């Protein structure tokens, strides 16, 4: 993969964590300097763990000016090992002094995930002072990519979520017992800055395919960010890139 200005190829997950943490803190400092607040939405999964652990060591006064949202959440209790909130709580929220009112966890206690999605959308609009017709602008969105090309909880074939006019939807991934809540492309693409963290050889083929322009958003939902690629920074580890290079031989 050619190194371009928006693709950082890092040695391993440790360096990926350093890069991701540094991007988060730099974006936060810039936003806070410019407007006194930083709105950020984070993903879950395995890849961002190291980034969050780095943030957990970032003792700083900035946290009172940070408003934290989730790109997606599994519809499970906040103390479930499946919960993206639980990952953030374990790795950094329990270690820093972010005001609890700045931590906007997806509520997963309602019996209806669709209602929870609507509640979360109202929360985003309220906190970000966005009107019903506005699309709130996150300062940073931290995305991952699955080996199937999904991002957030937008999975291949889910045209309904891709085309949704809402900011937040509930989805059901085939084979999972739980539903998920996800931000939609509508709000993801409006972010000022998007960072995609990709690690592991198992994602090489998909990364090579999307970078080569193969497929569309339905086949590879990560392609929802293609129209705003100028705002995207990729942080990809060598295991993933080497998989691409091996695949080309």
* Residues near ligand 6PG (CB under 6 A): 43-47, 71-72, 84, 144-146, 151-153
Question: Side by side, which strands form the sheet with 232-237?
Answer: 7-10, 232-237, 194-198, 140-144, 38-42, 66-70
Closer Cβ to ligand 6PG, 52 or 63, answer by number: 52
Closer Cβ to ligand 6PG, 65 or 184, answer by number: 184
Q: Which residues pair with 235 in a beta bridge?
A: 8, 197
DSSP 3-state of 158: coil
Minimum CB separation from ligand 6PG for residue 34, in Å? 28
Minimum CB separation from ligand 6PG for residue 248, in Å? 23
Closer Cβ to ligand 6PG, 102 or 201, answer by number: 201
DSSP 8-state symbol, 107: P
Minimal CB distance to ligand 6PG: which residue? 144
What Rg do the C-alpha atoms of the chain give, in angstroms? 17
How many Cα atoms occupy the beta-carbon half-sphere of 229 within 13 Å? 11
Does residue 101 contact residue 68 with C-beta atoms inside 8 Å? no
Minimum CB separation from ligand 6PG for residue 204, in Å? 13
Closer Cβ to ligand 6PG, 84 or 195, answer by number: 84
Closer Cβ to ligand 6PG, 65 or 68, answer by number: 68
Minimum CB separation from ligand 6PG for residue 59, in Å? 26
Residue whose C-alpha is closest to residue 64's, from 31, 38, 27: 38
Q: Phi and psi of 210, rounded to 5°?
A: -70, -35
């Amino acid at each position: 993969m050619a190194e371009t200005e928006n693709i950082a190829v890092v040695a391993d997950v440790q360096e990926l964590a350093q890069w991701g943490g540094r991007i988060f803190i730099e974006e936060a400092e810039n936003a806070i300097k410019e407007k006194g607040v930083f709105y950020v939405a984070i993903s879950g999964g395995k890849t961002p763990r190291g980034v969050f652990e780095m943030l957990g060591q970032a003792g700083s006064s900035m946290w009172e000016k940070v408003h934290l949202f989730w790109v997606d959440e599994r519809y499970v209790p906040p103390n479930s090992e499946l919960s993206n909130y639980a990952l953030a709580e374990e790795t950094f929220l329990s270690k820093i002094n972010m005001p609890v009112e700045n931590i906007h966890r997806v509520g997963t206690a309602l019996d209806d995930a669709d209602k929870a999605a609507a509640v979360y959308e109202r929360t985003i609009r309220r906190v970000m002072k966005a009107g019903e017709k506005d699309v709130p602008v996150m300062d940073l969105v931290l995305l991952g990519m699955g080996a199937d090309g999904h991002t957030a909880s937008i999975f291949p074939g889910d045209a309904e979520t891709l085309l949704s006019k809402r900011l937040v939807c509930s989805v059901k991934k085939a084979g999972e017992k739980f539903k998920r809540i996800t931000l939609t492309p509508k709000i993801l693409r409006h972010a000022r800055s998007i960072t995609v963290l990709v690690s592991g050889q198992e994602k090489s083929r998909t990364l090579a395919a999307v970078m080569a322009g193969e497929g569309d958003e339905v086949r590879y939902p990560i392609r929802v960010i293609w129209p705003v690629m100028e705002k995207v920074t990729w942080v990809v580890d060598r295991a993933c890139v080497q998989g691409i290079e091996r695949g080309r031989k």
